[in-house]
Amino acid sequence: MTPVPPTYSAITLNINGEKYTLPVDHRTTLLDALREHLDLTGTKKGCDQGQCGACTLLIDGRRAVSCLQLAVAAEGREITTIEGVAEGEQLHPVQQAFLDLDGYQCGYCTPGQICSALGMIEEHAAGWPSAVTDDVRPEAGPPPLSADEIRERMSGNLCRCGAYVSIVQAVAQAAGAQTAEAEEAAA
């Protein structure tokens, strides 16, 4: 048998452009490292099983759930949490849209929704199709960011208060998408 390997490591995490060095129990998820060790509590724990999206943040620019990401395995990657989204006092347009259009109620899923929206807008800009895209072939071109596309792409973030309608409007506004429904709702 192999010797018992160490179960702790000293790691350095790159979070919102800053380096944090800390010892971690290998069992510690990135989510718990942020919340319990680094006092970065903006990233929320809703289910701890990858089934709600409340812990969504960006890893190397892509959205990910931090409850299933071990902290030790996140070393060397660029992590952006909700605390790193605004530019100083200046809210990011996605944050401003959630605030203005009331894209939340209790606010607990909100940091995850906002980080997810940031990643989603980039994914769409890169031309990625979604499960509701009629024709996924590259020749068909990128799908317009309709309300249905936003709904599908944001479905990994559950909101129990039921703020989905204004979440979709906030994402559409921030993405600069003029969906027919957003126009209808504003009329």
Partner 1 sequence: MTTTTQATAVTGAVGTAHTRVEGRDKVTGAARYAGEIPFAELAHGWLVLSTIARGRIRSVEADPVLAMPGVLAVLHHQNAPRVTTDYMSITGTPDPTLAILQHDRVPYAGWPVALVVAETSEQAREAAEALVIEYDEEPHDVAFFAGRPDVYTPADSVVPTDEVKGDMEAELAASAVVVDVEYTTPEEYHSPLEPHAATAHWDGGRLDVVDSNQSTMWVAGELAQLFSLDPASVRVRSEHVGGGFGSKGVRPHQVAAVMAATVLQRPVRMVLTRRQMFSLVGYRSPTAQRIRLGADSDGRLRALDHHAQALTSTVHEFLEPSAYVGRVLYDADAHRTTHRLVRLDVPTPTFMRAPGAASGSFALESALDELAEKCGVDPIALRARNEPEVGPLSGLPFSSRNLLACFEDGARRFGWADRDPRPGLRREGRWLLGTGTAAATHAAGVGPSTAAVTAQADGTFDVRINATDIGTGARTALVLVAAEALRAEPGRVRVHIGDSDLGPAMFAGGSMGTRSWAWAVMLAARELRERLALGGAIPPEGITSRSDTSEAVGALAQQERHAFGAHFAEVAVDVTSGEVRVRRMLGVFAAGRIVNPLTARGQFIGGMIWGLSMALHEEAFRDSASGTHVGADFAGYHFAANADVPLIEAHWVDDPDPDDPVGIKGIGEVGIVGAAAAIANAVWHATGVRHRHLPIRPDRVLSANSAGGSSA
Partner 2 sequence: MREFGYQRVLDVSGAVALLDADPDARFLGGGTNLVDLMKTGVERPARLVDVRELPLDRIESTRDGGLRIGATVTNSDLAAHPEVRRHYPALTQAVLAGASGQLRNMATVGGNLLQRTRCGYFTDVTKPCNKRVPGSGCPAIEGEHHNHAILGASDHCVATHPSDMAVALTAFDTVVAYETADGPGELPLADFYLPVGDTPHLETALPPGALITGVTLPPAPTAANSRYRKVRERASYAFAIGSIAAALDVEDGLVRDVRLAFGAVASRPWRARAAERALTGGPATADAFAAAADAELAAARPLPHNAYKVTLMRNLVVAVLTELAEEASR
Interface residue list for partner 1 (CB under 8 A): 25, 27-28, 32, 35-36, 39-49, 51-52, 54, 81-83, 85-86, 91, 95-96, 98-100, 102, 104-111, 114, 132, 147-148, 150-152, 154-155, 157-168, 181, 184-185, 187
Q: Which of 69, 81, 113, 169 binds partner 2 (CB under 8 A)?
A: 69
CA angle 35, 36, 38 (to 5 degrees): 70
3-state DSSP call for residue 102? coil
CB distance 169 to 180 below 8 Å: no
The Cβ of residue 8 has, within 10 Å, a number of other Cβ atoms equal to 12
Closest C-alpha to 72, from 112, 117, 38, 26: 26
CB distance 40 to 83 below 8 Å: yes
Q: How far is the CB of 48 from partner 2 (least distance, A)?
A: 7
Task: Answer yes or no whether residue 29 interacts with partner 2 by CB under 8 A.
Answer: yes
Q: Which residue has the tokens 């018992």?
A: 4
Q: How far is the CB of 97 from partner 2 (least distance, A)?
A: 19
Alpha-carbon distance 17 to 127, whole Å? Answer: 27
Non-local (6+) Cβ contacts of 73 within 8 A are: none
Task: Answer yes or no whether residue 5 interacts with partner 2 by CB under 8 A.
Answer: yes
Q: Which amino acid type is present at position 158? A: L
The number of residues making up the chain comes to 187
- Name which of 95 and 133 has its Cβ closer to partner 2: 133
Q: How far is the CB of 89 from partner 2 (least distance, A)?
A: 28
Q: Which of 33, 70, 150, 168 binds partner 2 (CB under 8 A)?
A: 70
- Name which of 111 and 138 has its Cβ closer to partner 1: 111
- Name which of 75 and 83 has its Cβ closer to partner 1: 83
Binding site for partner 2 (CB under 8 A): 1-2, 4-7, 9, 25-27, 29, 48-50, 53, 56, 59, 62-65, 68-70, 72-73, 116, 119-120, 123, 126-131, 133, 136-139, 151-153, 155-158
